[in-house]
Amino acid sequence: MANLTALTRGGLSWIPKFLQSINKDTCLGCGRCFKVCGRDVMELRWLNEDGEFAEEDDDDELERRVMVLANPEKCIGCEACARICPKRCHSHAPLPA
Tell whether residue 68 is a contact of ligand SF4 (CB under 6 A).
no
The smaller minimum CB distance to ligand SF4, of residues 51 and 86, is found at 86
Q: Other CB atoms closer than 10 Å to residue 61's CB: what's the count? A: 9
Q: Which of residues 38-67 bind ligand SF4 (CB under 6 A)?
A: 39, 41-42, 67
Q: Which of residues 13-42 bind ligand SF4 (CB under 6 A)?
A: 19, 22, 27-33, 36-37, 39, 41-42
Distances (CA, A) of 19 to 10, 25, 37, 60, 65: 25, 17, 11, 30, 19
